[in-house]
Structures are given as structure tokens and as C-alpha cells.
Chains A and B, each alone.
Chain A
Amino acid sequence: MSTAIPSPLATIRATALGYAPRVLQGRGWVLAGLVALPVGLSIVIFTVTRLQGVEGNPGEALKIFHGVLVMMMLPIMALVAAPAGIREDLEQRTLALMLVRPAPAWAMPLGKGLPWFFWGAAWLVIGTLGLQVIGGDPALLPGRLVALVSAWWGELALMTLVGLLFKRGTLWGALYFFIWEPLVRVFPPFLQRLTFTHHIESLAGSRAAEVRANQMLAQEQVTTHPVLACLALLAFGALCWALAGWKLHRTPIGLAGSEAEG
């Protein structure tokens, strides 16, 4: 039988469609829950308080967006979803079955990550729309949607790369998200631009007004033009996917899932 060598696009398509059913299993619903639960809970509390005649605070939606979705749930989603990407095949030792195919290995991390990206992005969109129920500013909605989806693209790609570079990729990712990112408040302008938070806030509106007087080390917040911030997140994600592909292509990975010296 004569077979053609599949193109990178065909490889991405085949891998993405082949692994798409995985997002409808346990890990996929955990991912959905990470967005749906806090937003759903907020809506329930908002509805109950409204029924009791208490006026809702329009600032709540902003707080949940920045404090819960951006700072907590988005990184946790990346930490949950990335190990189910190409890293999963490495750990389950099923990667060999894909690597003995003539398809370009470098396209596989993106192909395997795309179902998780689309699934997570769909839930982030639903969550952001849900925040409108509790008083989200309609003018900020497009910016929030773009910010979350493009940041999700970048964070998932970063975690996929880290998972291929380090054995304890999830640990390094968690350290990055929960130690480096919060330091954005005390970083000088140059370092602020090296965080996801900076670009998300440039796109979705800032919460700088919440910096309190007791935050002595807080630095002046800089902003980037929304278009540039979006492009930066998308380009960073694309770079991480490319590097993950390059790493997989270059690294000899045997049946034991380990590297040989060769």
C-alpha cells in the first residue's frame, strides 16, 4: 500500500479530532467546573440577595473576573489541561505509537492541545457572559472575552512546553502562576510586561484602583495597547507551541518514555 507523508496541517487535524473525545471525560468536566462553579455560585448568591431586596454591587463582577477567573481559575485550568496533552502520551508511554508514524512530530503537541484549548475557551466565554448577569459592564465584555481566551491560549501553550521541558512541569508551572504572577503589583514596568496579568488587564480593564495604601511596594501600573496585548498573548502562545513541537521533534523518546543519550 502506498501512503503519502501527512502534512503538518493534516497531522494537527488528525490528532485534534482523534483526541477530541477526551475533553468530554472527567478532566474535561473538571475544567468546565473551574469556570462554571465560581460564576454559577456568584449568580446564585446575586439572585438570592436580589430576591431579599438587597441591591447588588456592580463591582462584584469585576472582582470575580480579576480575582477568581484571571488570578486563580485560569492558571489552574492550564495546570489541569496541559498534562492531558502530549505529556499524557509521554507518561502513559503511548507516544511511541505516534512517533513511529511518518507524520511530523513537531505538529503533535498543538494537535493534542487544540481540543483542550477550544473546550476551555468555550467555558471561559460562557463564564464571562455569566458575569454579565451579576452586573458586568457591557462595554468591557469584548475586552474580557478576548483577554481570557488569548491568555488561555498562552497559558495552556506555556504549560505544554514546560511539561515537555521538565519532569515536574506542573510544579514549575504552579510556581510561575502563583508566585511570579502576583508579583506584578510590585514589579517595575519592564517586568510587569512579562506577566499574563499585565496583558489581561491591558485588554480587560485594570483593577489598579484596588491597590490599597498598605501595599507599600506597589509600583505604578503600566498598560499596553489592547491590540498589542492581544497580539503578545497570541504570539507567546504560538511560540510556546512551536517550542514544544521542536522539543518533541528533537528529543529521542523511546518505548520507556525516557530519553536515550543518542
Chain B
Amino acid sequence: MIVLDRASLRYGPILGLSPTTFELPDGGGITGLLGPNGAGKSSLLQLLSGLLPPSGGDVRVFGQAPFRNPAVLARLGLVPEGDRLPTGLRADRWLRMMGELSGLTGEALNAAVAKALETVGMADRAHLTFTRMSKGMRQRIRLAQALMHGPELLILDEPFNGLDPEARLTLMALLRDLAEKGTRILVSSHILGEIAQLTDRILLLFRGRLLAEGTVTEIRQLLDRHPVELRLTGEAQVLARWAVEQPELAAMRMEEDAVVISVRSPRDILPRLQKAAAEGGIPLRALDPLDLNLDAVFQYLTKDHA
């Protein structure tokens, strides 16, 4: 369904996406595109959705180059990042226009608008203008416009940004349902947890490079190989004595009222640390992960690739 062969994208002198190669097979399912802000996720999605042509290499979607290619565009739907919709228009009329631009007419158009609005739970509020809608409602309309022509490939760029927890769960359930019915879904996020809840297949992007590809478990194992820094605040001497006995310890430094340890497999050491603190074995007042954010994790992986 999707084939990238050393496809790259430049914004003038800036490299948005390094030459990247991967394939997504036909059929339904969800693939997560994971990476911190600026990793190249949107660049990759813009190549796939035909908004931009590659600066180098080749991009094929349904066997054809997608840029300004109606045969490809008729079969995909895009939910771009952000909260942008035309000002001053009613949602239902705008959806009709989008449907017509997708080639729907007459009864098929009416049915598609109604079904899309029902799917996203906006059937009774579609008469509102975008300015009178909440962010969550607008996000649902943005999803509706991508769904209404029944795309085989649905591309979503950071769809969970700004949504409340309930709306996130609703959207996740909807995406799972669509995937089960045969739609191939490519969804980007900079939050591992979001992607892990949705799918087992992940593409990792960082600084315009595809770093890794695999299941959530494989990616987690990859991440576990790298030391993570934790700051243990309390009586530094006692905490340091406990830390040096741990097999996961890779490095340690002392601070005035704390000890900073660098450990491998934090998921192994954390329960032990919790237990020791609970039993009074160590005088721990606070525990702060210093680099458990995705940015730091990607930096580790980059060092690997270097």
C-alpha cells in the first residue's frame, strides 16, 4: 500500500526528512508514527498524502506517486495537525463541499455526510459554525471530512493533541473500529503511551531519520538497553550505598541532598526502589526521572545509529 524508497524532503536548505525507506502492506491495521516534535513526522505524512512531492527518492501509495494524483487522493483521507478550519462556515455545509471535492454527488453525498457526522458523534451539532464549536468538536469534524468518502488509507497527524481524556478514548475506539473494518490507519504522535494504546506496530522517527521499526515490545526493549537518569532525593550517603548494590547501575553522581543514578532497565529497578522505600530501608523523599522523556530516548537511539 505504501512504499518509500530513499524518499527525502527538503524545505529549502532545511532537511525535513532524510532518505527514508519502508513499506506498509495492504489491508487494515494501525501503524503508529512516533517521534518528538520536529522529528519529521509531518513531513513524512505530507509526502504520503500527496501534499508535497519528495525532494529525492520515490514515494508510492497504492502503487502510484501521490502528489496531485487524483487516483491516489480519492482513496486516502487526511486529518492534518492543528485546529485549523475555515472561518465563518457551517460544519455541515463545509462537509458537503469537501464531499463534492471528493467526487460525491446526490444521494451518495447526503448519505456520506450524515454517516460521517454520525460516526464522529456530531450529527446534532453540525449546523454550528466552526467559531462556535469547541476544540474537541472541531477535531471530530476534521475527522469526519477525512472519513466521508470511505478512504482505504487514513492518515492522522497528532490527532490527540488538545483533546480531553474522554475524547481521546472515543477517538481511539473509533480508529480501532475502522482498522478492524479494513481501513489502513497511519497515526502520528510524540507520546509513546498514546501510540502503545492504539497499535502494536511503530515507526520511530528522529531528526528526519527513521530510527527503528517494530512492535511496541521491540521498541521498549530497544529503549531499555539505554541508561536512564533518576534523581533520588533524601540522605545521599545512604541512597548511594543502596544504589551501588543494584546490578542495573551504570553511573552515579552525588548532589547536596540527592544522588543521581544512571540505570539500565528502569522497569526492573523501580519496583525494588519502591519496595525499599516503603519498608523504610532507604530514606527516599523524592524520585525524579531526569530523562525519561521521548526526546532523551531518541537521543540515545541516535547515538546508537551514529
Contacts and interface: CB of A to CB of B under 8 A. Distances in A.
Contacts of A21: 88-90, 93
A103 B108 CA distance: 17
A14 B82 contact: no
Contacts of A96: 51, 78, 80
Interface stretch (A41-49, A120-128, A215-223, A246-254): A246-254
Interface stretch (B69-77, B117-125, B223-231): B69-77
A25 B90 CA distance: 13
A70 B52 CA distance: 41
Interface stretch (A60-68, A87-95, A227-235): A87-95
A74 to B, nearest CB: 25
A171 to B, nearest CB: 23
Contacts of B9: 260, 262
Given A93-B84, A261-B11, A100 B74 contact: no
B104 interface: yes
Contact of B49 (A25, A92, A100): A100
B211 interface: no
A100 B89 contact: no
Interface string B35-64: 000000011001001111111000000000
Interface string B78-106: 10111011111110011011101111110
Given A22-B88, A253-B51, A14 B157 contact: no
A98 B16 contact: no
A160 interface: no
B78 A261 contact: no
18 contacts: A1-B149, A6-B102, A18-B96, A21-B88, A22-B88, A92-B84, A93-B80, A97-B80, A97-B85, A100-B51, A103-B102, A105-B68, A252-B51, A253-B51, A255-B81, A260-B52, A261-B12, A262-B54
Interface of A: 1, 3-6, 10-11, 13-15, 17-19, 21-22, 25, 88-89, 92-94, 96-105, 249, 252-255, 258, 260-262
Chain A to chain B: the 7 pairs with minimum beta-carbon distance, closest first: A18-B97, A1-B150, A14-B100, A102-B70, A3-B103, A101-B101, A102-B74
